[in-house]
Amino acid sequence: MNELVFPNINIEKLTRWTGDVSPLECIGIKDETHNVKSFTFKSTKDAWFQFYPGQHTTLFLKIDGNDVMRTYTIASSPTRPNTITITNKRMAEGVVTNWMHDSLKVGDCVDALDIGGSFSVALDKPKSKILFLSGGSGITPMLSMTRYFCDVSMDVDIAFVHNAQSEKDLISKEELDFYESSQRDFKRHYVCDIGSGSWLGPTGFLNHEMLIDLVPDFAEREIYCCGPEPYMQNVKKILSLTDYDMNFYHQESFDIESSTAQKNMAINADLPEHKVTESEINEYNVTLKKSGDVLPCGSNTSILVSIQKQGITVPFACSQGLCGTCRTKMLDGTVEMDAQGGLLKSHEQEGYILTCCSYPTSDIVLDL
């Protein structure tokens, strides 16, 4: 009989995990609902994970011979630093998520970016009363933050409202039910778009009257919201009907439900400022080798925006140098890159850039 091999849990003697330390090994897969799974990973080398609850990482996968990337929020709590868990939903056109559901197995290894992101209670100084509002798989950062609060027994009053398509789509319902029964100040509410004959909870889309009924004191709470873009827009519309102070409102910065911003454009997005004096502004040519397109790009304009202005679609998501989705190999030329953790050092050394936060300092050629 094989002896048990215990992992090293003395993090003082372990390396903190970053994407450059080692790949991730899948060590567990759990069915959460009929179309949602959780994937638990550990580092292939002894290392521990340091992150804030609600942050995300980007997975690098090879699917049908193509390198693809997708950003996912970590659903687990940083109080359990030997593993991270990603919970995602099968989608009609979800290339990466569907591949994970169909093909990723325990023991498989994947590369991933450093953990990052600014959506977390731990990065704010929130009120002691918090309201989590989530729709669909946008529940994942809320699960991470809830698990964190419960693990450290913080004195915080939490109201948690989760919207799902139907009762069978409720993610982690048993866990949230347990928290309500075991935590002093934790109230959870479920809203289903369509209720079955046995469903006794509220149905339909979240509205002002429903929110008042479920969480009468919502105006006194710090609000964290995540879900599909229409869901988050609806929440902000509801709050606009009240005197809620939006300084206490936080939402995830990109659409978790789709995990990509392909249907949106970075051109008019609220992008980080790249400071260049007027005398330093120059125009360069950006050549896309595969398509043969040559397009102009000023040194004060991101390469992604310049490409999109020509009506060309390329992968991107966060537009802030965080998620790595727009990673592209630069074959020639130089750029200034304001990456915020979205590119591995090893990939940068291989010539990759992030088009969303790269600004040309010469004519460049991209492998696009």
* CA dist., res. 54 & res. 148, Å (int): 10
**CATH code: domain of residue 165:** 3.40.50.80
Would you state the structure tokens that stand for residue 108, as one six-digit string? 């498989």
The encoded tokens of residue 275 equal: 């400071």
Domain's final residue, options 85, 112, 139: 112
| Backbone φ and ψ of 316, nearest 5° | -165, 165
Count of C-beta atoms within a 10 Å radius of residue 288: 18
Work out the widest C-alpha separation in the chain, in whole angstroms: 73
- Provide the number of structural domains found in the chain: 3
Reduced to 3 states (helix: H, G, I; strand: E, B; else coil), residue 312 is coil
Q: Does residue 201 fall inside a structural domain?
A: yes
Within-domain flag for 3: no
Q: What is the CATH number of the domain that holds 286?
A: 3.10.20.30
Together in a domain, 107 and 125: no
Q: CA 64, 114, 364: angle at the middle one, nearest 5?
A: 70
Same-domain pairing of 131 and 20: no
Length of the chain: 368
Query: At residue 244, what is the residue type?
Result: Y
**Domain match, 159 and 219 both:** yes
Task: Identify the CA nearest to 174 among candidates 166, 185, 182.
Answer: 182
Torsion of CA 294, 297, 302, 304, to 10 degrees: -20
Rounded Cα–Cα distance for residues 226 and 224 (Å): 7
Same domain, 131 and 234: yes
CA distances from 174 to 12, 78, 150, 178, 179 (A): 34, 21, 15, 6, 9
Residue 17 to residue 59: CA distance in whole angstroms? 14
CB burial of residue 229 (10 Å; 0-12, 13-18, 19+)? middle
296 and 360 assigned to the same domain: yes
Rounded to two decimals, the pTM is 0.82
CA 102 to centroid of chain Cα atoms: 21
Does 100 lie in the same domain as 219? no
Task: Confirm whether 317 is domain-assigned.
Answer: yes
24 and 136 co-located in one domain = no
Tell me what pLDDT residue 263 has.
44
Same domain, yes or no: 134 and 231: yes
Per DSSP, 105 falls in state: -
266 lies in some domain: no
* Two tokens, residue 209: 């009257």
Buried b (16+ CB within 10 A) or exposed e, 122-144: eeeebeebbbbbbbbbbbbbbbb
Exposure b/e, 292-315, CB count within 10 A at least 16 = b: eeeeebebbbbbbbbbbeeeeebb
**Cα(150)–Cα(233) distance, integer angstroms:** 29
In a domain, 237, yes or no: yes
Closest CA to 325 of 277, 280, 266: 266
- Asked whether residue 324 is assigned to any structural domain, the reply reads yes
* pLDDT of amino acid 117: 81
| Residue 169 CB-half CA count within 13 A | 21
Return the H-helix or E-strand segment holding 163. Answer: strand 157-164
Quote the domain boundaries for residue 314.
278-366
Q: By CB neighbour count within 10 A (0-12 exposed, 13-18 middle, 19+ buried), where does 342 fall? A: buried
d(CA 31, CA 38) in angstroms, rounded, equals 7
**pLDDT tens-digit profile, the chain (368 residues):** 678 877 777 777 889 998 887 899 999 999 999 999 999 999 999 899 999 999 998 888 888 888 788 889 999 999 999 999 999 999 887 888 999 999 999 999 999 988 888 889 998 889 999 999 999 999 999 999 999 999 999 999 999 999 999 999 999 999 999 999 999 999 999 999 998 778 889 999 999 999 999 999 999 999 999 998 899 999 999 999 999 999 999 998 655 445 444 444 555 555 556 776 676 789 999 999 999 999 999 999 999 999 999 988 787 777 788 778 788 999 999 999 987 677 888 888 999 999 999 999 999 999 99
Residues 103, 126, single domain; the answer is no
Is there a domain that residue 258 lies in? no
DSSP 8-class letter at 274: -
Among 112, 129, 149, identify where a domain stops.
Answer: 112
Tell me: do 148 and 244 sit in the same domain: yes
The encoded tokens of residue 73 equal 């929020």
Identify whether residues 21 and 98 lie together within a single domain.
yes
Residue 1 lies in a domain: no
Pair (295, 234) in one structural domain: no
CB 296 within 8 A of CB 283: yes
CATH number of 71's domain: 2.40.30.10
Residue 24 is encoded by which pair of tokens? 């991730």
Which residues are within 8 A (CB) of 146 and not within 5 positions of it... i.e. 6 or more apart?
132, 158, 160, 176, 179, 186
Domain end point (choices 81, 112, 143): 112
- DSSP 8-state class, residue 74: B
